[in-house]
Structure 1
Amino acid sequence: MKDAIHSLIHKQKQYYYSGETKEISFRKEQLTKLKEAIKHRESDILDALKKDLNKSEYEAYLTEIGFLLNEIKDMLKNIDYWATPRKEKTPFTHFGGKSYVYKEPYGVTLIVAPWNYPFQLAIAPLIGALGAGNTAIIKPSEFTPNTSMVIRDLIASTFPEKYVAVVEGDAEVSKALLEEKVDYIFFTGSTQVGQKVMEAASKHLTPVTLELGGKSPAIIMEDANLKIAAKRIVWGKFINAGQTCVAPDYILVHEKRRRKFLKLLLHYTKKWFGEEALKKRTFPTIVHEKHVDRLASMIDDEKVFYGGGYNRERRFVEPTIMIDVNMDDEVMAEEIFGPILPILFFKYDYEIIDIVRQRPNPLALYLFTENKENEKLILSNLSFGGGCVNDTIMHLATPYLPFGGVGESGMGAYHGKFSFDTFTHEKSVLKQTTSFDLPIRYSQSDTSLKTLRKMWE
């Protein structure tokens, strides 16, 4: 395996050195091929996602396919402009020169994808990598084997492996890939594995993007529109059975709105995900039995307000709401990554800052308020990757906003132009005239020193 991986990376490096991937016309052609391949194999993708995670056609298209087609469309529309060298100002000290920033691909890129959105999170970084002119190796998750197989077949039938390749396998395969020297690593997954990726990358000083997670809060201020808050939190939490890195992980509710908010939260949970609702709609499964066990250990029956049931064999965990939770409960120890929604209550606004700061910077934060001062308080005092005011999750669905974490929730960002920038090295070039040559740089006289001081100070 190690020899095969080493040979593949060498093959891609040599192809990258040929210069073909850098041509803008070539990049557009390949992105168009990718788009057509996704559309052509849509039924295969939907079928694989159904088998792996029991995703409905609607949810799978919404979260895994449509988003990618929009990303490709945006890349094709803007790539000429994004890839053009950018002229910058030149200081007087460099008189006669002109300054430029050239957009250069890194080379061979490695994309390590997770299992929760196994198709989207493998292909979305690929769009940026190819748009920027790189080659790419994709390592899909072994926990979603059907989707992994579709990705492998789609890529193999669309691109030569010297350009884009898929390497399947378990953690040992990932380890073998990370031991090789590539030019850029893009990883999506847990914070614990992200630390190992960064450690491996450091041995070769390889730049990385880490898209991780964390406990993302949803904050309900006293003045919030509770109906909107309840609807959007229920949708954002239970989509993909809560297996979303930016799902609301817990809710902080002003104690004066406790009863009304709980009533609305319960109403929409039952309406969309209750026992009767789930007879009519598909609810995604948990990816593996061990994750069912992990989630079951977080459920405190005495604090369950709604739900709490699970079935290990069916990989099913019922949408669950827990109340009167405190920071010492097991459900608050780590990112939940499942359909369990703990609720905490606060009395004073400053408590929000203290509670959120007890955990590492989250990947997302959701604030529900109609008050600009409340908005300013939260946005200026808490650090998080990105988020929404009066909504959940939707910030990651626009190509015009960067998506990424901060601190333990990740580093780097992508989507739209930010995907292009992530896989691009900005190479600075000063073009200097030969028509004249100012002698001040060569002289060490007092007069030259005085001149320099006037210019720089």
Structure 2
Amino acid sequence: MSISVESSVNPEITDIPVRVADIRRGFERGITRPFAWRREQLSALDRLLEDNHIEIEEAVYADLHKPRLESFITEIKGVRSEIKTVLKNLKKWTGRRSIPFAPAVMSQGFIQREPLGTVLVIAPWNYPVNLLLSPVVGAIAAGNAVVMKPSELAPRTSALIARLVAKYLDGRAVTVVEGGISETTELLSLAWDHIFYTGNGTVGRIVLKAAAEHFTPVTLELGGKTPAWVDPSADIATAANWLAWGKFLNTGQTCVAPDYVLTTPAVQPKLIEALQKEITAFYGTDPRSSPDYGRIINDRHHDRLTVLLEGADIAIGGQVARDDRFIAPTVLRDVRVTDPAMHEEIFGPILPIITVDEVDEAIAVVNRGDKPLSMYLFSTDQMPIDSFLTRTSSGSVAINASLIQNGIAALPFGGVGASGMGSYHGEQSVRTFSHERSVVKKVTWLPNLVKFTHPPFTSKKEKQLRGA
């Protein structure tokens, strides 16, 4: 029996252009522009998170085995804090900003932030709520219509968010499109006014190429091998605490997690001992049975990470169990820059330590790779800190801490080079999803001095224009 072309096409995919067109019409009708609409939608998003936090935590646990309190902190509380900050400053961040009177042209001017239009937000699976909704906060605050694409690798969370968004937000201008590669490909084939993508560099290149077909501006939040330098002057116990927390949070599946550590041969054994104490304090002697330790997202990623352990000098951990996608918090000693663990972003609970003799050598290791999304410096000596800040490039830096730079609304968050382009959080989110329109108005009660630039160019005009 033959199958017609029509019957072999997923009706949900063919429906995507229609749904997107409906959302675009909502923007064109001016639904999203009023200040009151933006405030109401942001408040509704906040209520969505407040009313349903238990169900959200359960969905994220089902997808990632992420501890519920960890989900509350990293998925829900962070977004609600972003909403609160934006609501507090919305009028100031979206209002007109006057410029000084321009006497040369006898004109007054101002800058008006306008919404870009209809935007697409594509989220990853590792923080399936936060990394979807945080950009949406900025898009709505700027007055845009929004289409959200959650990750299909976190299906329970995706389905829940789709249902809740339809219930709480204005479906005329905000919607969720679920699905996998086919649905994302269809979305990327359409014209957008902005695309915001968080994920890996491979897909980031696909997004960028698709956007180029329509001259669509993009924000790419990617990743990379985030380095940490532990200086001989550092407090080793403090460094180990921050490194263990930053690395093994979400089972290492965090784009700004420390990817590898650089330190001296003398510091390495002390650091390993301190890391072992922190890991035991966090997860006990058997992390697999700890209710506070998650799992790897799927078998493919588990297999990818397991390969990195083959032949490595394992100082801590190393236990794996494919049946429930478990990999213990693991630290590798004496790693070389040519080892498999250094070929690409690890994105898992494996922390390599590379020993170098001095700061200059550590900086050379960092600079031989792509520019990282973040960098962590542990030192009580200002000299190595200044050396890293002036001789390397990264999206962000935290000194004597890890991850905290991502939670400060006043700091733009984004990458540089292969780790991304564009940034968001706080006012930067509003700026990302806005066009800063320049407006000038010539005052009518003063003479038009610009006339002196009009032909015919007489000798009198030349003297006045040249200042003779």
SS at match of 2:66: coil
Output the CA distance in 2 between the equivalents of 1:208 and 1:46: 30
Q: Which residue does the alignment assign to 2:318?
A: 308
Find the aligned partners of 2:398 and 2:180 in 1 and give their Cα distance: 35
Match of 2:74 among 44, 59, 63: 63
Matching residue of 2:386: 376
Structure 2 partner of 1:147 = 157
Give distance in 2, aligned partners of 1:88 and 1:142: 46
Q: Does 1:346 align with 2:359?
A: no
Q: Which residue of 1 aligns with 2:296?
A: 286
Partner residue of 2:452?
Answer: 440
The Cα offsets for residues 219-260 of structure 1, whole Å up to 9 and x where unpaired, read as: 011111111100000000000000000000000012232222
The yes-or-no answer on 1:335 pairing with 2:345 is yes
Give the superposition deviation at 1:271: 2.3
Deviation per CA, 1:80-99, whole angstroms, max 9, x where unpaired?
111111111344422x2012
Q: Is the 8 A contact 1:9 1:182 kept in 2?
A: no
Instruction: Sort the Cα spacing of 1:249 and 1:449 in 2 relative to 1 into closer, same or farther, 3 A.
Output: farther
Q: 2:284, 2:290 within 8 Å by CA — same for their partners in 1?
A: no
Tell me the amino acid that sits aligned with residue 122 of structure 2.
V
Contact 1:135/1:163 (8 A) holds in 2: yes
Instruction: Describe the shift of the 1:371–1:91 C-alpha distance in structure 2 as closer, same or farther (beyond 3 A).
Output: farther
2:175 & 2:296 partners in 1: Cα distance? 28
Equivalent residue for 1:129, pick from 135, 139, 142: 139
Letter paired with 2:336: N
The alignment status of 1:49 with 2:49, answered yes or no, reads no
Structure 2 portions without partners, runs of 5+: 1-11
| 1:16 equivalent in structure 2 | 27
Q: CA 1:437/1:61 → structure 2, altered by over 3 Å: closer, same or farther?
A: same
Is 1:202 the equivalent of 2:202?
no
Deviates more, 1:153-162 or 1:25-34: 153-162
**Does residue 362 in structure 1 map to residue 372 in structure 2?**
yes
- Which consecutive segments of 4 or more residues in structure 1 shift more than 4 A? none
Q: Structure 1: how far apart are the matches of 2:377 and 2:18?
A: 49
For normalisation by structure 2, the TM-score amounts to 0.94
Question: Does 2:229 align with 1:219?
Answer: yes
The answer as to 2:206 corresponding to 1:193 is no
Shift of 1:454: 4.1
Deviations 1:146-187 (A, max 9, x none): 000111011011124321111011111111001000111000
- Secondary structure of 1:118's partner? coil
The 8 Å contact of residues 301 and 308 in structure 1, kept in 2 or not, is answered as no
Partner SS state of residue 22, structure 1: coil
Whichever residue aligns with residue 56 of structure 2, its letter is I
Aligned counterparts of 1:344 and 1:25: Cα–Cα separation in 2: 54
Q: Return closer, same or farther for 1:52/1:2 CA change in 2, 3 Å cut-off.
A: closer
CA distance in 2, matches of 1:165, 1:182: 15
| Counterpart contact for 1:90–1:97, Cα < 8 Å | yes
**Of 266, 283, 299, the match for 1:256:** 266
- Between the aligned partners of 2:312 and 2:344, the Cα distance in structure 1 is 20
Counterpart Cα distance in 2 of 1:374 and 1:454: 53
Q: Given residue 423 of structure 1, which amino acid in structure 2 is its aligned partner?
A: F
Distance 1:429 1:90 in 2: 12
- Shift in CA distance, 437/262, structure 1 to aligned 2, threshold 3 Å: same
Give 1:301 shift. Answer: 4.1
Does residue 408 (structure 1) correspond to residue 412 (structure 2)? The answer is no
Number of residue pairs matched? 454
Cα deviation code 1:398-429 (max 9, x no counterpart): 11111000000000111111111111110011
Q: Which residue of 1 is the match for residue 124 of structure 2?
A: 114
How far apart, CA to CA, are the structure 2 residues paired with 1:446 and 1:241?
Answer: 76
Which of residues 39, 47, 50 is equivalent to 1:28? 39
Kindly provide the amino acid, as one letter, of the partner of residue 66 in structure 1.
Answer: K
> Which residue identity does 1:29 align to in structure 2?
E
**1:88-117 CA distance string (max 9 Å, x none):** 1344422x2012110100010100000000
Looking at structure 2, the residues matched to 130 and 285 of structure 1 have their Cα atoms a distance apart, in angstroms, of: 33
Q: What is the TM-score of this pair, normalised by structure 1?
A: 0.96
The reply on whether 1:80 has 2:99 as its aligned counterpart is: no
Q: CA deviation at 1:280?
A: 4.2
* 1-structure distance, mates of 2:112, 2:312: 60
Q: For residue 138 of structure 1, what is the amino acid of its counterpart?
A: M
Q: Are residue 452 (structure 1) and residue 465 (structure 2) matched?
A: yes
SS at match of 1:313: helix
Looking at structure 2, the residues matched to 451 and 235 of structure 1 have their Cα atoms a distance apart, in angstroms, of: 68
1:440 maps to a residue whose letter is F
User: Who is 1:389 aligned against?
Assistant: 399
Q: CA RMSD in A?
A: 1.4
Larger deviation, residues 444-453 vs 181-190: 444-453
CA distance in 2, matches of 1:360, 1:153: 39
How many angstroms does 1:9 deviate by? 2.0
Q: 1:82, 1:417 within 8 Å by CA — same for their partners in 2?
A: yes
Q: 2:117, 2:145 within 8 Å by CA — same for their partners in 1? A: yes
Distance in 2 (CA, whole Å) between partners of 1:100 and 1:382 is 37
